[in-house]
Amino acid sequence: GAVVSQHPSRVICKSGTSVKIECRSLDFQATTMFWYRQFPKKSLMLMATSNEGSKATYEQGVEKDKFLINHASLTLSTLTVTSAHPEDSSFYICSARARGPTEAFFGQGTRLTVV
């Protein structure tokens, strides 16, 4: 399958600071990328969908001003957690797909800890 890479894999930040997570498709052009979050021992929850060159579409209950998503190129999407608080500590996972009825592939995830 295609390769999707997230960076960093782990990050610890202080409360009140912002953190940027990158999601890259390494061997295909990702017209659509998805961001999920996962709390301990819980399942994945879709946060938002982003199409290259367009504004992201957020799921109900997800604060778009807190979780800024940029998908400026066909190989890179970023998720910025602004003014992070301890309750934002979670496992953030991206997935990416190419144009058309293709499968989507997941990154390895980013463990965010806000202290």
Partner 1 sequence: DAKTTQPPSMDCAEGRAANLPCNHSTISGNEYVYWYRQIHSQGPQYIIHGLKNNETNEMASLIITEDRKSSTLILPHATLRDTAVYYCIVRVASNAGKSTFGDGTTLTVKP
Classified as helix, coil or strand, 108 is coil
Q: Is 6 in the site for partner 1 (CB under 8 A)?
A: yes
Strands 105-106 and 90-97: antiparallel
From candidates 7, 13, 49, 66, binder to partner 1 by CB under 8 A:
49
Site for partner 1 in 69-98 (CB under 8 A): 91, 93-97
Contact status: 107 vs partner 1 (CB under 8 A): yes
Provide the minimum distance between the beta carbon of 47 and partner 1 in the complex, in angstroms, as a whole number. Answer: 11
Q: Which two tokens stand for residue 17?
A: 């600071």
43 lines the binding site for partner 1 (CB under 8 A):
yes
CB nearer to partner 1: give 18 or 102.
102
Closest CA to 71 of 25, 17, 13: 25
Residue-wise over 30-41: b if at least 16 C-beta within 10 A, else e? Answer: bbbbbbbbeeee
Which of 1, 60, 65, 115 touches partner 1 by CB under 8 A?
1
Distance (Å) of CA 56 to CA 8, 71, 98: 21, 8, 16
Residues of this chain that bind partner 1 (CB under 8 A):
1, 4, 6, 32-34, 36, 43-46, 49, 91, 93-97, 101-109, 111
